[in-house]
């Protein structure tokens, strides 16, 4: 199923998508920061660790989610929701 644009969603779907995206973005961001800190720590203790690279692979997903959240917030403003 293809993702629908915020303008095509009902008010309830828009709010639900915003909550889901916000939660998943914050959890992914938190996991990325934790992995980066652990990776840097392990690099100093044991040498280079692959954990330093993993957070960079999450960056595009975080950016896409942030852009989707911006679109949803704009659509909510247009509809007068808050």
> Tens digits of per-residue pLDDT, 13-28?
989 999 999 999 999 9
Q: Which residue has the tokens 């998508």?
A: 17
- Residue 14 inside a domain? The answer is yes
Look up the domain containing 62 and give its range.
10-79
- Residue 71 inside a domain? The answer is yes
- Identify whether the C-beta of residue 58 lies closer than 8 Å to the C-beta of residue 28: yes
Euclidean distance between CA atoms 12 and 66, whole angstroms: 20
- Residue 51 inside a domain? The answer is yes
Predicted TM-score (pTM) of the model is 0.81
**Six-digit token pair at 28?**
């992914």
Which residues of the chain are under the pLDDT cut of 70? 1-2
- Residue 4 inside a domain? The answer is no
- Residue 2 inside a domain? The answer is no
The total number of structural domains that make up the chain: 1
């Amino acid at each position: 199923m293809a993702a629908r644009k915020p303008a095509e969603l009902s008010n309830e779907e828009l709010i639900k998508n915003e909550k889901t995206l916000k939660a998943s973005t914050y959890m992914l961001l938190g996991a990325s920061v934790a992995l980066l800190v652990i990776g840097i720590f392990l690099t100093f203790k044991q040498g280079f660790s692959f954990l330093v690279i993993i957070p960079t692979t999450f960056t595009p997903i975080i950016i896409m989610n942030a852009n989707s959240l911006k679109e949803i917030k704009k659509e909510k403003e247009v509809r007068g929701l808050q």
